[in-house]
Chain A
Amino acid sequence: MATSAAAIQVERVAVRNKAARSDSLLPAGIVTTFLSVIVLLPLAAVAARAFTGGSFWSEVFAADALASLRLSLIASLGVAVVNAVAGTLIAWVLVRDDFWGKPFLNALIDLPFALPTIVAGLTLVALYGPHSPVHINVAYTQAAVFLALLFVTLPFVVRSVQPVLMELDREMEEAAASLGAGILQTYARIIFPTILPALISGVALGFARSIGEFGSVVLISGNIPFKTEVAAVHVFGQIESGDIAGAATVSVVLLALSCAVLLALNALQRRGLRHGG
């Protein structure tokens, strides 16, 4: 009895090890090559172009480049704040409320993920542009940039917070109530801290997306340098006019910003897991 059980164990381990060795190498090779060729190589080229020629800092601080970066940054931050509030509110309504058409509305939230950015931009032009049926015309203004970014980043906070709200232990709320907490106190001290990690995650992902946004902004903002030109549009202009060094430089700044945000988020999440909860 004991020997055959042990024999099966040994065979299992042997199979697993052999599988690990021979199976891992070929897929690892394919995956690494593919990733390198498709993603890493091109990005390396951008970095290389930005840092050769010695003009990195002068390019960054070129007035129009700086203006476009500032616009992207500020608009993205503003949008992040609005999303934090609106996104949480929408997630709350989707989880805690019930009304006719709720599944339909729930599916609609993902539309900005599925819709091409240029089409998103066009829809905003249609409703809030020169021929607006509601007489709201934000074309060629910074408000247009803001609006476009709100559209494309809408799902991030909602989809991030929604699952956490769904999993929230109702008994925690009942416990808080039994201990004397009113509705607002329960929200502030129990619910909000629980959804905070998901909220931060959604905001961060939305931010990383919106600083590099191009397609949805390009039609409605008018792309006026120093006024309504976002960083991605500026880069596009530099490519068109042959200023490759300048384009690469601003690109590196954008890359650095979004990577920093995502890495920070990654680190925060890792720490959160260790904390327990």
Chain B
Amino acid sequence: MSIVLRGVSKRFDKFAALDDVSVEIPGGSLTALVGPSGGGKSTLLRVIAGLERPDSGEVEIEGVNSLDVPVQDRGVGFVFQHYAAFKHMTVWDNIAFGMSIRKRPASEIRARVDQLLKLVQLDGLGSRYPSQLSGGQRQRMALARALCIKPSVLLLDEPFGALDSNVRAELRAWLRGLHDEIHVTTVFVTHDQAEAMEIADRIVLVHRGRIEQVGTPRELYEQPANPFVMSFIGPMTAFDDAFVRPHDVDVRVEPTSSSYEAMVQRIIHLGFEVRVDLMLADGRHIWAQITRDDVEQLDLTQGQIVYVRPSREKRFAPVSRTRMLFGNTG
């Protein structure tokens, strides 16, 4: 059940939410649409769902041109950030809604809803109302409701955005587990890159209506196509025109041939890892991430002069569009 978008553009008044976007989402994968707020990822998701109609371009779901297919008939399951629960119906009726619209026999509905209640760990709560559930429970109900109609594609729009951070972490891991069990093509939108890195098979980085890069989490981390990707996925600090991961900054007390002189501004202990803020001779600020042991070995103190150089760095040539779409090497 793969999804293909070709040349999709969408404007809202003067604002270009999507600008000539083309991407392919493989069937059965768990793909994350990531990017800063307002970048177009929610719009992209809604175009796939049929909740927005693009101004131009093609949308193919499972090889079928779906542009003129209304959302009711696309067979997509959609989960909203704020749950969109049917407040006047019980949890059970919420989940059963899609099937009752399709006029399935009562016994079939009952079996399926009970099965889903168990799957999302809400069994026993079927007769409650959404207002009586916690945020996490409501979102699991929303998920069960979307899954009930056996969608070919599952779409989630910032599904954990409205939840506490520990509930987020729990549900995110649970979603991954669910996907491993069910294997429905799943696309979810998040502005939290760590979330995407943790559970997605593939990441699509969307920024200002365009796709910056598509790839596995590892590819985006180790082979970012441009500085924006590098800064968005994972931490980054810059030496001249070289972009470096802070844990690739080598800190020594003796100078070497390619090292820069720097003064230790602050040492921040974050447990095992330590963040060291440094100022170079020309006044620029960088930071390095080293271990607790390194700090002891180097006997680092504030104000000390040290010598730093990147052990691994990235330099970006002026980037072409093809590079952005298909990744970069070196």
A residues with a Cβ closer than 8 A to B are 169, 171-172, 174-182, 185, 189-190, 193-194, 275-277
Contacts and interface: CB of A to CB of B under 8 A. Distances in A.
B101 A275 contact: no
B132 to A, nearest CB: 6
Interface residues of B, number: 31
A172 B78 contact: no
Contacts of A176: 86, 97
Given A185-B101, A277-B131, A180 B84 contact: no
B275 interface: no
11 contacts: A169-B82, A169-B84, A175-B142, A176-B86, A178-B77, A179-B145, A179-B146, A179-B149, A180-B98, A189-B97, A277-B129
A177 B71 contact: yes
A275 B127 CA distance: 12
A178 B87 contact: no
Contacts of B101: 179-181, 185
Contact of B78 (A169, A178, A185): A178
A171 B130 CA distance: 15
A194 B85 CA distance: 12
Closest 3 A/B residue pairs (Cβ):
A276-B131, A179-B98, A171-B84
Contacts of A172: 84-87
B87 A194 contact: yes
B86 A190 contact: yes
B72 A182 contact: yes
Contact of B76 (A178, A190, A275): A178
Contacts of B49: 178
A189 to B, nearest CB: 8
Contacts, number: 70
B98 A174 contact: no
A193 B102 CA distance: 20
B87 A174 contact: no
Contact of A277 (B71, B84, B87): B87
Nearest to A192: B88
Interface of B: 49-51, 70-74, 76-78, 80, 82, 84-89, 97-98, 101-102, 129-132, 142, 145-146, 149
B97 A276 contact: no
Given A179-B145, A180-B72, 20 more contacts: A169-B82, A172-B84, A174-B71, A174-B84, A175-B84, A177-B51, A178-B71, A178-B74, A178-B76, A179-B149, A180-B73, A181-B97, A193-B88, A193-B89, A194-B88, A276-B87, A276-B129, A276-B131, A277-B87, A277-B88
A174 B80 CA distance: 9
A177 B86 contact: no
A190 B73 CA distance: 19
Contacts of A177: 51, 70-72
Nearest to B132: A276
A264 B89 CA distance: 23
Nearest to B88: A193
A193 B93 CA distance: 14
Contacts of B50: 178
A178 B84 CA distance: 12
A178 B97 contact: no
A186 to B, nearest CB: 9
Given A194-B88, A277-B88, A178 B129 contact: no
Given A171-B80, A185-B101, A277-B129, A178 B88 contact: no
B160 to A, nearest CB: 16
Given A174-B78, A174-B84, A277-B88, A180 B149 contact: yes
A276 B97 CA distance: 20
A138 B132 CA distance: 54
A194 B84 CA distance: 13
A181 B50 CA distance: 14
A172 B142 CA distance: 11
Contacts of B74: 178
Contacts of B84: 169, 171-172, 174-175
B72 A181 contact: yes
Nearest to A172: B84
A178 B86 contact: no
Given A180-B102, A194-B88, A171 B82 contact: yes
A25 to B, nearest CB: 39
Nearest to B145: A179
A142 to B, nearest CB: 38
B15 to A, nearest CB: 19
Contacts of B80: 171, 174-175
A193 to B, nearest CB: 5
A189 B78 CA distance: 18
Contacts of B78: 174-175, 178
A125 B71 CA distance: 52
